[in-house]
Amino acid sequence: MAEFVFEIGTEEMPARFVPKLASELEELFRASLEGAMIGFEDVKTYATPRRITAHVVGVAETQRSEEETVTGPPVRIAYDDEGNLTKAGQGFAKTQGVSEDQLYKLETGKGEYLAATKSVGGGQSFDILPGICSHVLDKLTFPKRMSWGDHDLLFGRPVRWLLALLDNKVVEFTLENLTSGRTTRGHRVMGPGPFEVPSAQDYFRIVEEDCKVIIDPEKRKALIVEEGDRLAKAAGGSIVWKDSLLDEVANLVEYPVPILGDISELYLELPPEVLLTSMQSHQKSFGVQKEDGSLLPHFLTTLNIEPKDRALVKKGWERVLKARLEDARFFWEADIKTDFDHWLGKLDKVVFLGPLGSMGDKTRRLEKVCAWVADELGDSKEILPADIERFGAAGRLSKADLVSEMVNEFDSLQGIMGGIYARRAGKGDVVADAIAEQYLPAGPETPVPSSLSGAVLSMADKADTLAGCFGIKKIPTGANDPYALRRCALGICRIIMEHGLDLDLESLLKHAQAAYSEDVKWKVGRKESLTMLLDFFAQRLRAMFTGQGYATRVVDAAIGAGFADIHTLKARLGALDEFSRSEGFEQAVLTFKRAANIIRKQGEEAGQELSGGFETDMLEDDAEKALAAKLEETDPRFEALWSKGDFAGLFGLLAELRPSVDAFFDNVMVMCDDTALRTNRLNLLKALVDKLGRLADFNALQV
């Protein structure tokens, strides 16, 4: 078994390219080796800003050999009347590389065909690997590609060298003006090289010792964390680690050297969010905190070199960060001298979206919608009447920080700074928390607002954007969603479910529409727009639940019964999913679908209005009397279980109803000649179907 190393050397890649390239390279090599029938034990890949490496251990020296049966033309075409091969038969033998006497007749389900058995594989891995390397290089993807010089090759960054070794032999192939070899290069300053690599087994030792490169990104991260924690502990604190930033920093360097810098205590007067943003966003550095979470006058940064004079380098980093902090302090001092009325006036000159008015208009709409939502939730969330006005105020002040000096410079602090300014201005926790959390969730993996006021403002904001965009036909198409409307819809759904809000989705969207001025020129009428919005939400809910592992038919059945009450939809879906795995489910579905189909065909499609109200004295057959009695007996229990949200109990109740329904269908002629009797029986079934329809759309449950 052999060892193979493949390295692509480039100019510095952006940090966001690096981890994706490593995982993609591994997938490509695994698939290519398996497709080429070359056995191997494992593939591992590594990436730094200047190299991508694949390491394959346990490589088989030759391909697997397999026998393959290949069919050719039908026998009637392959042979003439005298039993000699025709040109079609001779061509098949030549194409497959077998002699004519190796051909035979094979009986298949479609008739008798000419066939041959041939051996495939068995080639030398050394001869096949060049093609695999070229294929892998061609298949690597990048967010952006570039060309350089006169070359036709498009790659993430210019390729400078290629190394490919199978044990001690060079796997030679060509890429534009480069030919693979056994030469690698190291850290630009600490070990530039070039260095000759005698064999694949020597590669990692040479890269680490001579090139001064830590090739494993996980090892680079571990080194940063270990040294960072040590330095922070010596300074009496701990690092404010941020995983996404740690990943980025580890992929910006090949030889990480963490150092601790200092800042003036003067800057600790700034809000921690501002300090950390200045450090993290602009300097790729981490803050240092005390046990109580307050910041210390230090920061951790990571060099890509072991400097000759650490003190000098540290001073340079401190000087650069100081300039950013001075800017932040200037903006902070300017903002705290400004009141919200000034910012609200400026919002009227900031366009929200084309014909939908200004940001000032949006905040006035949010004031109305937030107050309505708070009033609607009222008793269920113990919102006092006095607080409803505060929810509305949060909507009105929500976008004020967009025109502040701080957010103009640090746009990632929008909302966060608004919450800080609102708290300083004495607006109260309800308002401050709402403004700070209004943009959550920012994606499927981010949390929803933790505060109720934040949840209300976030929903109102998203509903306003959805109502406006659908009204002017700015609707997502395919992968195109420039206004993140899918994220808005999912955000509303998640907030309602995770906060357990008794809020009607359709009413929320109607109030969002109604908050818009009559002066807005809509391209779609409100009724049509609302229908489109509800369908859009249904699609998002369907995608979300199926993505969580629920069967598509179960999701469709749950949503088909109604989804305006999103809070109970999830519980109802869970109970239906459990019911779908119970014994007798398939037969129950057939029974209840039969009832639903009769009502659909004889009611809606036939133009007959059915109320679900039936006359007990018109019931003749014992089976229909028994069904009516069972419906009346279970109705109070059904309503009690529904009010408690006990959907498992409700589906259990269906199991009680089913024998009566089966007996009804076995013994009662629904479509009898007597019009009054037929209508009464249809209404009896309508009463059943109405009850079932609150739980699930049984027509969606294909069995």
CATH topology for the 341-549 domain: Hypothetical protein af1432 (1.10.3210)
pLDDT tens track for 406-442: 999 899 999 999 999 999 999 999 999 999 999 999 8
- pLDDT higher than threshold 80 for residue 122: no
Do residues 422 and 397 lie in contact, with contact meaning Cβ atoms separated by under 8 Å?
A: yes
Distance CA 235, CA 322 (A): 20
Top CATH class of 576-700 equals mainly alpha
Side-chain-facing half-sphere of 289: CA atoms under 13 Å: 14
Mean pLDDT of 488-496: 96
Q: What's the pLDDT score for residue 605?
A: 60
User: Diameter of the chain by CA atoms?
Assistant: 106
Residue 256: asked if its preceding bond is cis (omega within 30°), the reply is no
Distance CA 501, CA 377 (A): 7
Q: What's the pLDDT score for residue 12?
A: 93
Is it true that 341-549 and 576-700 share their CATH fold? Answer: no
Q: What's the pLDDT score for residue 606?
A: 60
Q: What's the pLDDT score for residue 89?
A: 83
- Tally of CB atoms within 10 A around 273: 17
Selection from 503, 303, 484, 493 nearest residue 383 by Cα: 503
SS (H, E, C) 629-671: HHHHHHHHHHHHHHHHCCHHHHHHHHHHHHHHHHHHHHHCCCC
Distance CA 591, CA 685 (A): 12
Distance CA 31, CA 27 (A): 6
Q: How confident is the model at residue 277 (pLDDT cuts 50, 70, 90)?
A: very high
Q: What's the pLDDT score for residue 123?
A: 81
Mean pLDDT of 568-590: 88
% of the chain residues with pLDDT over 70: 99
Helix axes 526-547, 452-471, angle to 10 degrees: 120
Contacts of 125 (CB under 8 A, 6+ apart): 2, 38, 59, 60, 61, 62, 63, 166
- For residue 603, what is the DSSP state? I
Mean pLDDT of 513-517: 94
Q: What's the pLDDT score for residue 703?
A: 54
What's the whole-number average pLDDT of the chain? 90
Better-predicted residue by pLDDT, 385 or 495: 495
Give the torsion sign (CA, 6, 12, 16, 17).
negative
Distance CA 529, CA 536 (A): 10
Q: What's the pLDDT score for residue 607?
A: 66
pLDDT tens track for 6-16: 999 999 999 99
Per domain, the residue ranges of the chain are 2-62+124-209, 67-120, 217-335, 341-549, 576-700
3-state secondary structure of 288: strand
β-partners of residue 108 are 111
Do residues 255 and 209 lie in contact, with contact meaning Cβ atoms separated by under 8 Å?
A: no
Least confident of 258-272, 342-356, 623-637: 623-637
Residue located via tokens 């949840």: 455
Q: What's the pLDDT score for residue 594?
A: 85
Q: How confident is the model at residue 555 (pLDDT cuts 50, 70, 90)?
A: very high
pLDDT tens track for 437-468: 999 998 888 999 999 999 999 999 999 999 99
Mean pLDDT of 303-308: 93
Give the torsion sign (CA, 676, 678, 683, 684).
positive
Q: What's the pLDDT score for residue 218?
A: 94
Burial 392-407 (b: 16+ CB within 10 A, else e): bbbbbbbbbbbbbbbb
- pLDDT higher than threshold 90 for residue 365: yes
β-partners of residue 169 are 166
Would you state the torsion angle of the CA atoms of residues 504, 508, 514, 515, taken in this order, to the nearest 10 degrees? 150
Helix axes 505-514, 526-547, angle to 10 degrees: 140
539: exposed, middle or buried (C-beta count within 10 Å: 0-12, 13-18, 19+)? middle
- pLDDT higher than threshold 90 for residue 186: yes
- pLDDT higher than threshold 60 for residue 270: yes
Q: DSSP of 74-124, one letter per residue?
A: EHHHHB-TTS-B-HHHHHHHHHHT--GGG-EEEEETTEEEEEEEEEEE--B
Better-predicted residue by pLDDT, 537 or 97: 537
Distance CA 509, CA 534 (A): 9
- pLDDT higher than threshold 80 for residue 118: no
Q: The pTM is what?
A: 0.79
Which amino acid, residue 634?
A: T
Q: What's the pLDDT score for residue 485?
A: 95
Mean pLDDT of 149-158: 85
